[in-house]
Amino acid sequence: MTSLAIILQSAPYGNHSAQSGLNATLAASAIIENLGVFFIANGILQLKSHQDTSTLQCKNQLAVYQLLELYEIENVYLDQNALQQYGLSTHELDYDYPYLNRTEIYQKIRSYSHILSF
C-alpha cells in the first residue's frame, strides 16, 4: 500500500511553500489512505495562534488548517524541538496534535514509502 509523509517545514508567509504544502496535503488525502503530516522546524509557525498578517498584505492562512480535520487527516505530528526553539508553549498553537522529538519524527517519516517536503 502506498503511504505518503508530507513535511511542512516552511514559515507560513514570505513564499508559497506553506500554502503549496497545505494544498498538496489536502489533495493527497483524497487518494492516499496512509498519509502523515509533519510540522517541523519553521513549519511549526504555521499553527501559531494570533497571526497578524496585516502588514504583510496577505490573507491569514491559520483557519485553513481546520480542513485537516474535515478531510479526516489523522496522522499529524508537531516538532517539540521547534516549539522549544521558538520559545512557544503548546497553548500558543491553535491545534492539538501529538508532539514528538526529532528522533521520533524521523523514525515515523521513515515508515512512509514516499515523502514530499515543503
Split into its structural domains, the chain has a count of 1
- Domain of residue 53: give its range: 3-117
For the chain, what's the residue count?
118
**Average pLDDT in the chain:** 88
Candidates 98, 109, 116, 112; CA nearest to 28 is 116
Q: With cut-offs at 50, 70 and 90, classify the pLDDT of residue 47.
A: confident
Q: Ranked by mean pLDDT, which of 64-78, 81-95, 96-110 comes out on top?
A: 96-110
pLDDT of 69 > 80? The answer is yes
SS3 (DSSP) at 37 = strand
Output the pTM of the full model.
Answer: 0.88
Question: What gap in Å lies between CA 100 and CA 87, rounded to an integer?
Answer: 16
9: nearest Cα among 40, 35, 38:
40
Q: What are phi and psi of 74, to 5 degrees?
A: -100, -30
User: Could you read off the pLDDT of 31-43 as tens digits, one per residue?
Assistant: 999 999 999 999 9
Q: What is the model's pLDDT at position 115?
A: 98
pLDDT at 67 over 70: yes
Question: Would you tell me how many other CB atoms lie within 10 Å of the CB of residue 106?
Answer: 12
Tell me, what CATH number does 70's domain have? 3.40.1260.10
| Among 7-11, 12-16, 57-61, the least confident range | 57-61
Please, are residues 54 and 23 in contact by the beta-carbon 8 Å criterion?
no
